[in-house]
Structure 1
C-alpha cells in the first residue's frame, strides 16, 4: 500500500509540474503570437502610410498638370462681342503679362468675367478669377492680383 501511495503521489506531482510547464509554454506561445500580430499591424500601417503618400504625390502631379494647362499667354481662337470697355479711373488700357500684379481697381465686378463659359474659357482654379482689360482677359489671383495667364484678343 505504501508503494501504491508513493507511486500515486509521484504521479500527481509529476502531472502538476507538467501542467505548469504546459501553461508556461502556452503563455509563451501566446506572447509570440501577439508580437507577430503587432508586427503585422505595424507593417499594415506602414503600407497604408506609403499608399497615402503615393496618393498625395499623384494628386500633386495632377494639380501641376492642371496648372500647366493654363498657358501663360494665349492668343484667343475666337473673338466675342462685348460692351464698350472703360478702364478704371486713373488707368489706361495696357498689355499685361505673366507675373505682374493687377491693381485693386480691376477687382471690381465691372471688370471680373464671371460668365467665363459663355466666352469659351475654362472654370478658373479656386482662388482665381478672370478680369477683363481692354480686349484681353487676364487670369489673376483674387487675393493678390498676381497674373497667372493672359488670353489676348478675346473681345472685339
Structure 2
C-alpha cells in the first residue's frame, strides 16, 4: 500500500510540474505582448504628465503676469505725490515735541514720534482708500503721508487734505 501511495504521489507531482511548465510556456508568450502594451501605456502616461506639467507652467506664468499687472495698478493708485481733491476739517495740528512742521517727500523716513497720535485710522472718513498692507496714513500739518509701519519709509504724500 505504501508503494502504491508513493507511486501515485510521484505521478501527481510529475504531472503537476508538466502542467506548470506548459502553462509557463503559454504565459511567457502572452507576457511578451502584455509587457509591450504596458510599456506603451507607460510612455503615453509620461507624455500626458509632460503635457500636464506644461499646462501647469503656463497657468503659473499667467498668474504671475496677472499679479504683476495688479501690483502696477496699485502702485499707480498711490502716486508718490498727490494734491487732495477735497479738503476736510480737522482739529488743529501740533507737531510732536521737539519737531516742527516739515514738508516730507517720497523716500524720506518719518521719525517714530509721528506714529503716536498722528496715525489716521478712519481713512474712509477723509475719502482715502485703505493703505497697502504694512503701511499707514500719518498726518503731517495739512498733509497726509503714506509711510511704512516698520521703518517709516514714505511712499506717498497727499498734500492739502486738511484745512
Do they superpose with TM above 0.5? yes
Unaligned runs of 5+ residues in structure 2 are 1-23
CA distance in 2 between partners of 1:19 and 1:73 (Å):
82
Q: CA RMSD in A?
A: 2.0
Q: Distance in 1 between matches of 2:139 and 2:27?
A: 89
Note the C-alpha offset of 1:17: 5.9
State the distance in 1 between where 2:31 and 2:79 align.
73
Per-residue Cα deviation, 1:72-125 (whole angstroms, up to 9, x for no partner): 1111111111011110011101111111110010111x1001000000001100
**2:133 matched residue in structure 1:** 126
Larger Rg: 2
Question: Does 2:66 match 1:58?
Answer: yes
In structure 1, which of residues 136, 140, 143 is the aligned counterpart of residue 143 of structure 2? 136
Equivalent runs, 1:101-120 vs 2, <5 Å: 101-108=109-116, 110-120=117-127
1:6 — aligned with what?
A: none
Are 1:36 and 2:39 an aligned pair?
A: no
Runs of 4+ in 1 over 4 A off after TM superposition: 16-19
Shift of residue 139, structure 1, vs aligned partner:
0.5
| 2:93 equivalent in structure 1 | 85
Cα distance in structure 2, aligned partners of 1:142 and 1:19: 75
Matched with 1:5 is none
TM-score normalised by structure 1 residue count = 0.83
